[in-house]
Structure 1
Amino acid sequence: MGQRRRKMKQKKHIDADWAGLPDNILEVIFERLNLMDCMSISDVCKSWRRVVAQELSDCQGHGFPWLLMSGEKDKRVRTCISILQEQEWEMLLPEAYGRYCWGSYQEWLILVRDLGSYKLDIGLFNPFTRKQVDLPGEWNLNHKMVLSGPPSLENCIFMLIQSDSQTLAFWVPGAQSWLQHKLDGEPFVDGVFSNGSFYLIGNDYNICEIKGANIFAAIKRDDASAPVAFHIERHYHEVTMPDEHENNGVLKYLVESCGELLLVCRFYSTKPDAVLVTHYFEVYSLDFSRMSWKRVESLGDQILFLGKCCSRSVSSSGLGLNVTDRIYFSNDHAVPWWNEWDSEHLVGILNRLGLDNSGTKDWGIFSLGNKNHETLSIQFRGNRDRWGPVWFTAPQWWCCKNFTLT
């Protein structure tokens, strides 16, 4: 009896070889964890970190929202900041030297080189895989690019929104040039791709819809290598707005969120010395059955990241964060159709005008559940004169490799 007890006691003190767990068992475990937990568990040992990075390498769009700071086009090292992780990273990007960062799609950066004479060289670059997608050159007439999906896909549609009219330009892989689609009216202020369609909004609250399938059909009919302008079928929706808003002093963002089309209204001061001082936000969801904007009181599991050419919606539980109803926003310019390369002469304008620049701002955080709009909950850093930074996604597999196990 005493011998049996000794054997049982010995078994209790046997150490488990956690580092030796089979990869398939680790993969099952990691699939059930959020991003923050995966970051933590990958720090256990090198073999676990290897499996985490390998398991997540094919996950498109999964990662941490980061900011790429502006005003660094002539640097080979760009400053990146994660507000959620409170980390700063100097990323070596020689491919981006001499280029402005115009926007992003997930982990892809939209890079622009100003060639002068109103001509632009446009391309997309993935700083984590080093892949590049070169696009045909274009005139400096546009203020935003919208993608239908990852730019590496053959069926991806690229859309440019022109600055001074409702003219759009489309490009698909294999086309020799941008295909122009001309409309009449005031320019669109924002656009997004959702559920197979491009949606655009102007100074009012109505929506223009263009289905992706119609674009491919028109390009195939007209031969993508030949025309400069072509015709596509579009749908114009008059959408009712329950609240009365003036167009002056509001920026509009369209955001795709879990299949919903959201309109985020950012209200700011129109005082001459305010530059861009944000007061509060309101969020609406498009009711397609009634074609009306419905006020959103809670974002649920989603948190929003707003910026010119780079807005997105992210699951807070998927990230592993205990936050709700948050809107993270960058210091966008009040004029939506301006670009960084058009506005370098404005750098330092507050000092030249003799205005106080001590309350400088680059980004902020707004709580949608804050009923008292007089006290906007904001955290800021940086120079308000500088162009707003760009949101992009730092893939989780890359973060696991670079921010764990020193």
Structure 2
Amino acid sequence: MAKCNKRMRKSSSSKWGELHSNILDIIFQSLSFKDVLRVQSVSSHWFSVSKALIASKSHLQSNNQIPWLMLPPGEQEEKQQHTNGGFRFINLEHKRVHHDIDNDILREIMAADSCCVGSSHGWLIFLDQKASPFLLNAFIQVKIHLPCLYSLLGILKIEKNIELDEYCIVYNNNPKNKVSYTTHLREKIIHKGVLSSNPCLGVNNLGVVVIYGSTRKLGYCNYGDGHHDSSWSGLDGKFWPYHDIVCYKNKLYALGENACVETWDLDGCVPIKRMEIGLCFPTKSTKMLSDFRYLYACRFYLVENLGDWLLVVRYIGEFVNGNNVVVREEDLLTDEDTHPLVCPYRTLLFHFYKLDFDEKRWIEVESLGDSALFLGGSDSISVSSSSLSGYKKNSIYFTDDYWDRMEEDYLYGGHDMGVFSMEEQMVEPIYQSGSMKIQPPPCWVAPSFW
């Protein structure tokens, strides 16, 4: 009898594993993303059907995604003590602030002083206090741990001095003398990270690219084929230090020094360089930087827009008064106690250029047409007119990524966000936070509704 029951259980399990694809699809449609991941192990057939569903949903979302603005809790949210810790996801199209997204994981991550070093394909890329990177999808509550970065940077260990609130980094080449101190791991470890594809399509396809270290070189990790022992390796980049990286159609595009561009093919297990273009930095921006050398800081971005590759130069006034006028540091007014008045940095202007592959030069662009760009510490992306309901076309939406000055004053930092109109050549606010200090800084993240 025992053997008979055992055979019956095996037969029943086999039937469940062979349910018709249409029936499984209907069942999976009613499940959450996390539940679909859980049931994949029932059988190879269930895995195949679930993977096809995930791919179709992710592809549908990726073709119609405009990122939301993610902000930490403000004073009002902290007083109300929302269940999600007060993190706000703002849909600018509908002018709606979402407080109802369950973000226990996100709250715990922020409380542990992890810093966000990128946002890509709807996933946030974090670095914890031990310089271990991981991915988080705040909408579907899924976390993916990535391999440690120590080997890539030649690090022996990282320790934090809680009293001094700084990190001590010890390197392999000379543990006794080669020591570096920093208050923020971002400046020594990862400056920016992007994903080659959406992990929802399957971890087997996942590649992660970072700009790392004080030299700002490129690192790559192929977290594919289910190998959790994957490691980081450096890419043979020529034009470091790098300013921006973009993954587009399974290729990596990197913006290097002097606005040079390199590309790698990410189809295989090992990236293969396909192109490098040595370029001259645009004359107009060169003159601007020369004439106003101490008044502006610059950020550089690489963006794909309707088949063209754009170079975006962002000008951040180092000290900007209430009238949006750049002032010199030595000319700042002082109060009765001779303490300088706060004149925080602020973005005032952008220059745009299109890459001419034949002439190998940057050509100035005066209009983005019906497109809008979204820039900052996240993926540099372009959205076309078909998805721009509620947004301003021919404009650029930006968040604060001036890491060098973000923590220098407790009164401001993370505040530099807005929308720049190319037609009007002016910046307008996109959200009134009520405070000049926004910590952690806002970032763009594509929502996952499933």
* TM-score bracket, shorter-length normalisation: 0.5 to 0.7
Q: Is the 8 A contact 1:305 1:327 kept in 2?
A: yes
Return the match for 1:283 from 348, 352, 355: 352
Aligned to 2:298: 250
Which of 68, 71, 81 matches 1:69? Answer: 71
Q: Distance in 2 between matches of 1:217 and 1:233?
A: 13
Q: Structure 2: which amino acid aligns with 1:193?
A: C
Tell me the residue number matched to 1:304.
Answer: 373
2:220 touches 2:234 (CA, 8 Å); kept in 1? yes
For 1:260 and 1:269, the matched residues in 2 are separated by 29
Q: 2:253 & 2:59 partners in 1: Cα distance?
A: 28
Which consecutive residues of structure 2, in runs of 5 or more, have no partner in the other structure?
1-55, 75-83, 151-184, 320-328, 330-341
Does structure 1 residue 129 correspond to structure 2 residue 177?
no
Partner SS state of residue 387, structure 2: helix
Given that residues 70 and 101 in structure 1 are in contact (C-alpha distance below 8 angstroms), is that contact kept between their aligned partners in structure 2? no
CA distance in 1 between partners of 2:270 and 2:132 (Å): 25
Q: Give the match for residue 246 of structure 2.
A: 192
How much has 1:362 moved relative to structure 2? Answer: 4.4
Cα–Cα, structure 1 residues 69 and 235, in superposed 2: closer, same or farther, change >3 Å? Answer: same
Give how far 1:234 is off.
6.0
Aligned residue among 276, 279, 294 for 1:239:
279
1:179 is the counterpart of 2:233: yes
Structure 1: give runs of 5+ residues left out of the alignment: 1-54, 220-231, 351-356, 399-406
Does the alignment pair 1:159 with 2:160?
A: no
Give, in whole Å, the separation in 2 of the partners of 1:134 and 1:276: 35
Secondary structure, in 3 states, of the residue corresponding to 1:59?
helix
Shift of 1:391: 0.2
- Cα shift at 1:166: 4.4
- Alpha-carbon distance in 1 for matches of 2:410, 2:298: 24
Most deviating of 269-278 and 190-199: 269-278
TM-score, normalised via structure 2 length: 0.60
Distance, in Å, in 2 between the alignment partners of 1:327 and 1:112 is 27
**Does residue 267 of structure 1 match 2:315?**
yes
Tell me which residue corresponds to 1:113. Answer: 128
1:239 to partner: Cα distance: 2.1
**349, 373, 390: which one pairs with 2:443?**
390
C-alpha change, 1:199 and 1:281, in structure 2 (3 Å) is same
Following superposition, the deviation at residue 329 of structure 1 comes to 0.9
**Residues 368 and 169 (structure 1), Cα distance of their counterparts in 2 relative to 1, 3 Å cut:** same
For the residues of structure 1 that align with 2:282 and 2:217, how far apart are their CA atoms? 29
SS of the counterpart of 1:285? Answer: strand
Higher mean alpha-carbon deviation, 262-271 vs 319-328, is at 319-328
TM-aligned CA deviation for residue 267 of structure 1: 1.1
Tell me the CA shift for residue 389 of structure 1: 0.6
Distance 1:261 1:163, change over 3 A: farther
Distance 1:334 1:160 in 2: 16
TM-score (normalised: structure 1): 0.66
Aligned equivalent of 1:17: none
CA gap of 1:100–1:60, structure 2 versus 1, over 3 A, is same
Deviation at 1:266, TM superposition (A): 0.9
1:168 equivalent among 218, 224, 230: 218
What CA distance in whole angstroms lies between the structure 1 residues aligned with 2:192 and 2:129?
15
Aligned CA distance change for structure 1 residues 86 and 297 (closer, same or farther; 3 Å): same
Shift of 1:107: 2.0
| 1:200/1:209 contact within 8 Å kept | yes
Judge conservation of contact 1:316–1:323 (CA < 8 Å) in 2.
no
* 1:366 to 1:255, Cα distance in 2 relative to 1, 3 A: same
Partner of 2:117: 102
Letter in 2 for 1:348: Y
Aligned-residue RMSD, C-alpha: 3.2
Q: Work out the CA distance in 2 between the residues paired with 1:217 and 1:137.
A: 19
Residues 322, 332 of structure 1: CA spacing in aligned structure 2 closer, same or farther, 3 A cutoff? closer
The match for 2:432 is 381
Partner of 1:348 in structure 2? 410
> Secondary structure of the residue that 1:244 maps to in structure 2?
helix
Aligned-partner SS, 1:394: coil
Q: 1:404 maps to which residue? A: none
Amino acid at match of 1:165: T
Instruction: Verify the 8 A CA contact 2:73 2:86 in the aligned structure 1.
Output: no
Deviations 1:242-296 (A, max 9, x none): 4332455221111222332221111121344644211211222212222211222
AA partner of residue 102 (structure 1):
V
Matched residues in 1 for 2:192 and 2:256: separation?
Answer: 13
Conserved 8 A contact 1:166-1:183: no
Report the 3-state secondary structure (helix = DSSP H, G, I; strand = E; otherwise coil) of the residue aligned with 1:294: strand
The Cα offsets for residues 87-118 of structure 1, whole Å up to 9 and x where unpaired, read as 11123212221243332123222233223xxx
Check whether the contact 1:251–1:265 (CA below 8 A) recurs between aligned residues. Answer: yes
Relative distance call for 1:184 and 1:200 in structure 2 (3 A) is: closer
Give 3-state SS (helix, strand or coil) of 1:298's partner: coil
Give the C-alpha shift of residue 58 in structure 1: 5.6
Q: How many matched pairs?
A: 306
- Alignment-mate amino acid for residue 392 of structure 1: V
Q: 8 Å contact 2:258–2:281 — kept in the other structure?
A: no
- The structure showing larger relative contact order (alpha-carbon pairs under 8 Å, at least 6 residues apart) is 1
